[in-house]
């Protein structure tokens, strides 16, 4: 047991829980949740399912979310101040990411009380390292606005941010979100990570325009993380596109050649198609 976890003083533990695969919970997390005087959770129904799976029996279970945070915050601070060990968990993943928990941490620190973390899974970081996009610099934007105009303004403000952009989004809004991304930021390479750590985990990466051509984009289900690569620094080389098309059009139809070259070079089919038409016209002269 570290000094931060001493039984002689109160402390708040920020405990990460699995984002899908329950085997990802850490031994330290289970020990912390077992020994805590109070568990503070986002949704007691979700947390009770997790506890039932691991045979945990909390002494006290409180809820803390955006609707009751202002009222619950002083109660939690008082509990820690009187020597209680309190563990804060979210429904899944690392607490405080896209939830109001930072105000609780600030209140405890301002009161001179101890806060520590029990690290674990986080959907945004898991998606980032699986995406194939640059990981050296990144910006987490949480959930984009739901309305198109506000969403484009939101994305437009991030146009100059270097590195990969990370968002949480509903699969139902993915197409509209990509359309607004393209309008605000232009062509970018994007990726989505779905059902991370679960059986149907899916990671796909392509330019925005290629994703928008897919009919199955409207049928996705499950939790989703959307990632947007840095601004493209170079424009497509027309001669490079032509040379690839010339080879493919010897054996394939124009449509199939365009599809294959667009996928290979990571370009929109519309752009490659326009080059293919010019090439075909030249051949027919």
Q: What is the CATH number of the domain that holds 183?
A: 3.30.950.10
174 and 104 share a domain?
no
Closest CA to 51 of 91, 10, 11: 91
109 and 128 share a domain?
no
Whether 67 maps to a domain, the answer reads: yes
Given a contact cutoff of 8 angstroms between Cβ atoms, the answer to whether 67 and 43 are in contact is no
Domain range for 111: 3-121
CA distances 57 to 38, 44, 49, 160, 250, Å, are: 11, 13, 11, 49, 69
Residue 38 confidence (pLDDT) above 80: yes
Given a contact cutoff of 8 angstroms between Cβ atoms, the answer to whether 137 and 228 are in contact is no
CATH of the domain at 80: 3.40.1010.10
271 and 180 share a domain?
no
Whether 40 maps to a domain, the answer reads: yes
The percentage of the chain sitting over the pLDDT mark of 70, rounded to a whole number, equals 95
- Give the residue with greater pLDDT, 252 vs 266: 252
117 and 128 share a domain?
no
84 and 143 share a domain?
no
Confidence of residue 236 (pLDDT cuts 50, 70, 90): low
Mean predicted lDDT score pLDDT of the chain: 91
Given a contact cutoff of 8 angstroms between Cβ atoms, the answer to whether 194 and 200 are in contact is yes
Please say whether the dihedral angle defined by the alpha carbons of residues 39, 41, 44 and 47, taken in this order, is positive or negative: negative
Distance, in Å, from the CA atom of 93 to the CA atom of 120, rounded to the nearest integer, reads 7
What was the pLDDT predicted at 3?
Answer: 45
Please name the residue that has the structure tokens 């330290």: 28
Last residue of a domain, one of 78, 104, 121: 121
Last residue of a domain, one of 58, 91, 121: 121
21 and 105 share a domain?
yes
Whether 233 maps to a domain, the answer reads: no
The DSSP letter of residue 170 is: -
Q: What is the pLDDT of residues 115-166, one digit of tens each?
A: 999 999 999 999 999 999 999 999 999 999 999 999 999 999 999 999 999 9
Distance, in Å, from the CA atom of 269 to the CA atom of 261, rounded to the nearest integer, reads 8
7 and 117 share a domain?
yes
Number of domains in the chain: 3
Residue 179 confidence (pLDDT) above 80: yes
What was the pLDDT predicted at 8?
Answer: 65
What was the pLDDT predicted at 265?
Answer: 75
246 and 195 share a domain?
no
89 and 178 share a domain?
no
Residue 233 confidence (pLDDT) above 70: no
- Give the SS3 label for residue 119: coil
> What is the mean predicted confidence (pLDDT) over 50-69?
95
The alpha helices in the chain, defined as continuous H runs, are 27-35, 44-54, 69-81, 101-110, 123-131, 148-156, 174-185, 208-212, 238-248, 254-265, 269-284
134 and 171 share a domain?
yes
pTM: predicted TM-score of the whole model, two decimal places: 0.79
111 and 180 share a domain?
no
Query: Residue 168's beta-bridge partner residues?
Result: 225
């Amino acid at each position: 047991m570290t000094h931060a976890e001493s039984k002689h003083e109160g402390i708040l533990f920020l405990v990460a829980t699995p984002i899908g695969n329950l085997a990802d919970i850490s031994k330290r997390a289970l020990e912390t949740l077992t020994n805590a005087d109070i568990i503070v959770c986002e949704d007691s129904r979700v947390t009770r399912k997790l506890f039932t799976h691991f045979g945990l029996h909390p002494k006290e279970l409180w809820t803390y979310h955006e609707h009751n945070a202002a009222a619950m915050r002083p109660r939690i601070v008082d509990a820690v101040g009187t020597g209680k060990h309190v563990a804060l968990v979210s429904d899944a993943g690392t607490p405080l990411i896209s939830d109001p928990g930072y105000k609780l941490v600030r209140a405890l620190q301002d009161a001179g009380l101890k806060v520590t973390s029990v690290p674990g899974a986080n959907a945004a970081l898991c998606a980032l390292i699986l995406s194939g996009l640059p990981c050296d610099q990144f910006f987490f934007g949480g959930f984009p606005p739901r309305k198109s105009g506000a969403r484009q303004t939101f994305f437009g403000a991030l146009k100059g941010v270097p590195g990969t952009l990370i968002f949480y989004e509903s699969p139902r809004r993915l197409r509209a979100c990509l359309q607004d991304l393209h309008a605000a930021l232009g062509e970018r390479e994007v990726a989505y990570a779905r059902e991370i750590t679960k059986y149907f985990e899916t990671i796909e990466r392509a330019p925005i325009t290629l994703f928008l051509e897919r009919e199955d984009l409207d049928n996705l289900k499950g939790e989703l993380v959307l990632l947007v690569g840095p601004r493209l620094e170079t424009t497509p080389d027309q001669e490079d596109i032509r040379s690839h098309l010339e080879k493919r059009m010897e054996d394939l139809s124009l449509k199939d050649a365009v599809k294959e070259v667009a996928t290979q070079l990571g370009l929109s089919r519309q752009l490659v198609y326009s080059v293919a038409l010019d090439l075909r016209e030249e051949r027919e002269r």
